[in-house]
Amino acid sequence: MTIPSATVYMISIKPHLAGTASGLGGSIMIAMGDILSIAANIVMEGHSTETPMALVMFLSSGLSLNKRPLRLSYEPGCSKLKLVKVDT
């Protein structure tokens, strides 16, 4: 449910670079999956139960639930993107 919303937001920052934003966003998602699978492999080494894998899943989901999420801010006329905290 979050992937389509994230993709739309990435593309909406600079619509004329939609293909680049989509490709970069997909690459970042795949890289994060690779990093988490390496972390799970390290944690599960020598264990024969699913508990270490559940721990990695729990920690990664906990890290994604930030109370004040960050977002990229783009101002027209400015060539830089800023990372700002979202007020809820």
Residue 58 one-letter amino acid: F
**pLDDT of residue 2 exceeding 70:** no
Largest Cα–Cα distance of the chain, in whole Å? 56
pLDDT digits over 58-77, tens only? 888 877 776 556 666 666 66
What is this structure's pTM? 0.58
Q: How far apart are CA 45 and CA 52, in angstroms?
A: 9
* More reliable by pLDDT, 53 or 1: 53
